[in-house]
Structure 1
């Protein structure tokens, strides 16, 4: 049987890491009296997911894209699994699309939704996934 202790530890660690990252990211801007800007934005992720073919760094950029997509997807799965977990933000179809397909759709989504270009990359991925891979609505409870 799977113990929930490692999952709880991962959740606590992820929350602590996210809080630390937010604190570090906010320090330079706070010192200058400006609003904090995300370190890696949705727009930057879209550029990493869709580099030009002649770009010498295309392979490295695409690797970053895939790593972010997988990390956000797996973290989402951890937080939305279990009996008392919140409803998932998105639901991948079965069979799941390839990383190439997902990243190409993300690039198209980001181009169509420039208002999200300045948000954190993880938020952009979740917004994209929710719009592209919506979850089926739960069946309404029967009335007696």
Structure 2
């Protein structure tokens, strides 16, 4: 009986994790939405869209930031150093970081992403 109960509980947890990326997350109202998309399980029916959206959201924000930093170098605060991390590595590490900082999960997704980037890849002063 205990084995059956443990198996049922395990299946429920797997189901919850596999459905982490829902259509509602694509509004990206909060960092929680972005983390759900970026950490979608491959078995999730929204996986391909979620991962591509996550990468596009991050890349778009970063490219906008770089253009702004070129125009205002004194405002640059994110500086990647060689060897440059892959986009996938940055996103995976962002998800890990965000899960360790739940106090930011209800904040704007882009603000939290850049909080992570500034903390992890600061510019030398």
- TM-score, normalized by length of structure 1? 0.63
Could you tell me which residue of structure 2 aligns to residue 136 of structure 1? 124
Mapped to 1, the partners of 2:47 and 2:94 lie a distance apart of: 16
Match of 1:93 among 61, 81, 85: 81
Scaled by the length of structure 2, what TM-score is found? 0.72
Is the partner of 1:96 in helix, strand or coil?
Answer: coil
Does structure 1 retain, via aligned residues, the 8 Å contact 2:30–2:106? Answer: yes
Q: 1:39 to 1:51 in 2, by over 3 A?
A: closer
Q: CA deviation at 1:65?
A: 0.5
Instruction: Report the Cα distance in structure 2 between the residues aligned to 1:90 and 1:71, rounded to whole angstroms.
Output: 15
Is the Cα contact below 8 Å between 1:49 and 1:61 reproduced in 2? yes
Deviation string, structure 1 residues 49-90 (Cα, Å, up to 9, x no partner)? 1112321211110011101110111111011114x4433121
**Larger % of helix: which?**
2
1:81 equivalenced with 2:83 (yes/no): no
**CA shift for structure 1 position 95:** 3.6
- Structure 2 equivalent of residue 42 of structure 1: 31
Where structure 2 has 5 or more consecutive residues not aligned to the other structure, the ranges are: 1-26
Shift in Å at residue 96 of structure 1? 2.3
Is the CA contact (8 Å cut-off) linking 1:89 and 1:126 kept in structure 2? no
RMSD: 1.7
